[in-house]
């Protein structure tokens, strides 16, 4: 026995160095380079672009718009074509000014405006952008049989015995522990499938959560909760069609909740007749969902009954008074910046025209700049209204998502 203990201690000493030694090694080998603030021109920038980046830093103090204008132009040419890209960049230079960004509320943790050329693409398309790219949902099509088969290889015990423990872990913000526990060897069951989906949902790992929640069969005690939560998860993933059929086939006691979710999905799909049909059975009497029903009605009225702003009117206004179209769109700072910059360049051009004549380079250079910014201002105003409309639509979609999701917490306490 002594010999066995001796071998054990020796093996441990060889293979596992003492804790103190381990700690010292950890302390000395730590790497904190990732938390340093670094400034360097974006990867792939050429010499001219690097110089432009350095000048930009001196003129603005820091990277404010991301990507910088020169990168934006390069990307925009590839995305929306040469002339729209030039106009979009000229408009962006004006919006990038101190006055242009004065009315923008920035996130203190991320004080940068992130806007790539795709924003212009959305503006041009004029259609509501889904909150989450639809492509993401392709991965969410989880094999239901696969979800049910989890843990089948080595059956060990039933998860129902650990149900309270899992709840304790989730309630105490130990969700990663709950996930580690549930993906151990348990006998396959509806409860296990539900708990896995529920834990992944709590961890905001929505794609696999959707697969598990959808896999809970209608005979399960957790079916209703899984059905309504999987609908909300699917909507958050940008898929507004798939949950419709399972919801419509549901005929249990939560029929008003079902209609509320169907109405929300119809709004997200931009289907006013679908909304009318589903909202006809709103009762406004269930405390848990009455507010959500009223909110959905309000969004329906705003979207389909109230007038939205016209991009053409904005462009015309900016053609008459530079920046007026942007003020009409609601971007006061951008409007004032456009007016000042186009006005200043116009005044400079006029002065040189009077004193040096129209063919002097001192007239031609500011004249070309003024014309570029003027046309960019008209183009930007047209796009500003489109993007404001899109922003309103996105905000409405966010509200719909909230209202078909959050009341579930009160319903399924």
Of the candidate residues 13, 24, 106, 149, the single one contacting other proteins (CB under 8 A) = 24
- CB closer to other proteins, 81 vs 111: 111
* Token duo for residue 332: 């006061």
Place of tokens 């409860």: 191
CA distance linking residue 301 with residue 281, whole number of Å: 17
Of the candidate residues 341, 383, 400, 401, the single one contacting other proteins (CB under 8 A) = 341
- CB closer to other proteins, 34 vs 273: 34
Determine if 107 is a binding residue for other proteins (CB under 8 A): no
Find the helix or strand (DSSP H, E) in which 169 lies.
helix 163-171
User: Least distance in Å: CB of 51 to other proteins?
Assistant: 9
In the window 31-90, what residues touch other proteins (CB under 8 A)? 32, 34-37, 39, 54-55, 57-62
Residue 157: helix, strand or coil by DSSP? strand
User: Least distance in Å: CB of 58 to other proteins?
Assistant: 5
The one-character DSSP state at 162 is G
CA distance linking residue 222 with residue 293, whole number of Å: 24
Residue 107 backbone phi and psi in degrees, to 5: -70, 120
Count of chain residues binding other proteins (CB under 8 A): 49
- 227-230: long-range contacts at Cβ-Cβ below 8 A with a sequence spacing of 24 or more? 228/254, 228/257, 228/258, 228/261, 228/408, 228/411, 228/412, 229/197, 229/198, 229/201, 229/408, 229/412, 230/197
The 125-164 site mask, x for binding other proteins (CB under 8 A), equals: ----------------------------------------
Q: Where would I find the beta strands (DSSP E) of 182-284?
A: none
User: Least distance in Å: CB of 368 to other proteins?
Assistant: 15
Of the candidate residues 82, 168, 284, 361, the single one contacting other proteins (CB under 8 A) = 168
- CB closer to other proteins, 192 vs 388: 192
Burial 277-314 (b: 16+ CB within 10 A, else e): ebbeebeeebebbbebbebbeebbeebeeeeebebeeb
> Which residue stretch of 28-36, 40-48, 204-212, 281-289 sits at the interface with other proteins (rule: CB under 8 A)?
28-36
Contact residues for other proteins (CB under 8 A)?
A: 1, 3-5, 7-8, 11-12, 15, 20, 23-24, 26-28, 30, 32, 34-37, 39, 54-55, 57-62, 98, 165, 168-169, 174, 176-177, 180-181, 184, 341, 344, 347-348, 350-352, 355, 366
């Amino acid at each position: 026995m002594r010999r066995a203990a001796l071998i054990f201690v020796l093996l441990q000493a060889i293979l596992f160095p003492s804790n103190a030694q381990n700690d010292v090694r950890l302390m000395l080998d730590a790497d904190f380079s990732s938390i340093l603030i670094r400034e360097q021109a974006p990867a792939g920038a050429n010499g001219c672009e690097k110089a432009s980046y350095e000048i930009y830093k001196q003129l603005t103090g820091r990277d404010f718009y991301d990507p910088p204008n020169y990168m934006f132009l390069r990307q925009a040419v590839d995305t929306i074509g040469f002339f729209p890209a030039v106009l979009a960049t000229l408009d962006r230079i004006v919006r990038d000014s101190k006055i242009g960004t004065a009315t923008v509320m920035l996130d203190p943790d991320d004080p940068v405006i992130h806007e790539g050329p795709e924003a212009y693409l959305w503006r041009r398309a004029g259609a509501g952008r889904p909150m989450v790219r639809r492509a993401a949902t392709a991965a969410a099509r989880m094999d239901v049989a696969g979800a049910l088969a989890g843990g089948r290889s080595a059956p060990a015990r039933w998860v129902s015995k650990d149900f309270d423990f899992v709840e304790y872990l989730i309630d105490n913000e130990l969700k990663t522990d709950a996930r580690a526990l549930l993906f151990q060897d348990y006998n396959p069951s509806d409860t296990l499938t539900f708990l896995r989906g529920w834990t992944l949902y709590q961890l905001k790992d929505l794609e696999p959560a959707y697969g598990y929640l959808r896999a809970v069969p209608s005979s399960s005690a957790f079916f209703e909760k899984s059905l309504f939560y999987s609908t909300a998860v699917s909507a958050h993933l940008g898929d507004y069609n798939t949950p419709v059929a399972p919801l419509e086939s549901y005929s249990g006691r939560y029929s008003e909740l079902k209609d509320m979710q169907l109405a929300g999905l119809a709004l997200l799909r931009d289907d006013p007749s679908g909304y009318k049909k589903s909202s006809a059975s709103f009762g406004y009497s269930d405390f848990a969902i009455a507010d959500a029903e009223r909110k959905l009605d309000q969004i329906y009225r705003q979207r389909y009954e109230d007038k939205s702003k016209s991009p053409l009117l904005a462009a015309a206004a900016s053609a008459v008074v530079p920046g007026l179209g942007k003020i009409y769109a609601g971007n006061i700072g951008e409007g004032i910046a456009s007016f000042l910059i186009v006005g200043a360049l116009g005044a400079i051009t006029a002065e040189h025209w009077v004193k040096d004549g129209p063919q002097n380079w001192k007239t031609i250079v500011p004249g070309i700049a003024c014309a570029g910014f003027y046309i960019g201002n008209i183009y930007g105003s047209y796009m500003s209204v489109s993007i404001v409309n899109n922003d309103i639509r996105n905000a409405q979609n966010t509200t719909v998502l909230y209202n078909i999701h959050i009341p579930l917490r009160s319903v399924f306490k």
